[in-house]
């Protein structure tokens, strides 16, 4: 296992929710990262953001780690959940609420409902 892979493994295992993204949760640097961070921020999830643009080893390492070619990537309790399209789908279907509830992740259910109402 490379240093990047070991660092990624440690990060996803020691944080309940991790978003590997371009930029930061305060300043996303791509539309897809912005969408996922926006959802998490809006519904009040406490998560660790990792800026893949700051480290090329992590940028490639996370793609190898998950066997998923794109960024952003969301992890909950050490498990890879998906990228932007999957998180968007899960938000709109309510599956993301269920995932957070089953894993004891605090979030604002009424804010999640507002996202669904706005996209109905």
Q: Is 1 helix (H, G, I), strand (E, B) or coil?
A: coil
Sign of CA dihedral 86, 89, 92, 94: negative
Rg of the chain taking only CA atoms, in angstroms = 14
Q: Contact 20/71 with Cβ under 8 angstroms?
A: yes
Q: Does the annotation list 84 as a binding residue? A: no
Q: Are 97 and 108 in contact (CB under 8 A)?
A: no
**Which token pair is 98?**
């269920």
Binding annotation: 30
Binding annotation for [2Fe-2S] cluster: 30
């Amino acid at each position: 296992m490379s240093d990047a892979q070991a660092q990624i493994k440690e990060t996803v295992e020691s944080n309940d929710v991790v978003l590997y993204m371009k930029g930061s949760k305060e300043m996303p640097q791509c539309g897809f990262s912005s969408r996922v961070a926006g959802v998490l921020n809006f519904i009040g999830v406490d998560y660790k953001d990792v800026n893949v643009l700051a480290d090329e080893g992590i940028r490639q390492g996370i793609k190898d780690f998950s066997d998923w070619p794109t960024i952003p990537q969301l992890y909950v309790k050490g498990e890879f959940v998906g990228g932007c399209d999957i998180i968007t789908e899960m938000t709109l279907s309510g599956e993301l609420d269920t995932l957070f509830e089953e894993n004891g992740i605090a979030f604002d259910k009424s804010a999640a409902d507002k996202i669904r109402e706005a996209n109905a």
